[in-house]
Amino acid sequence: MAKIIFTSNLERHCHCPTKIVVGNTVIEVLKNYFSEYPAIQSYVLDDQDKLRKNMLIAVNNEIISDRVTLLDPVKENDEVFVLQALSGG
């Protein structure tokens, strides 16, 4: 089981507490989390279940490489970080 963590910036918009979730890939972890907290899904994924352009996901502090199918592996005790890529000037 992996720990999924959302940044406080996302928590301001939607209830998305840190939680231990089952899954062997990023998409499995996300889908299992979204089954309990569905409101955050539209912030993270688009209507085709692809990662939104303004979002980043890291597994153990390494940005995932597969933004389309989200099939990057997740192992027991990994930490999955979901954050919004912010920009500005």
Q: Who contacts 16 (Cβ-Cβ below 8 Å, separation ≥6)?
A: 6, 10, 37, 40, 82
* Domains, the chain, with CATH or none: 2-84 (3.10.20.30)
In the chain, where does DSSP find H-type helix? Answer: 8-13, 26-36, 41-44
pLDDT tens-place string over residues 18-60: 999 999 999 999 999 999 999 999 999 999 999 999 999 999 9
Instruction: State percent of the chain over pLDDT 90.
Output: 88
Query: pTM, whole model, 2 decimals?
Result: 0.92
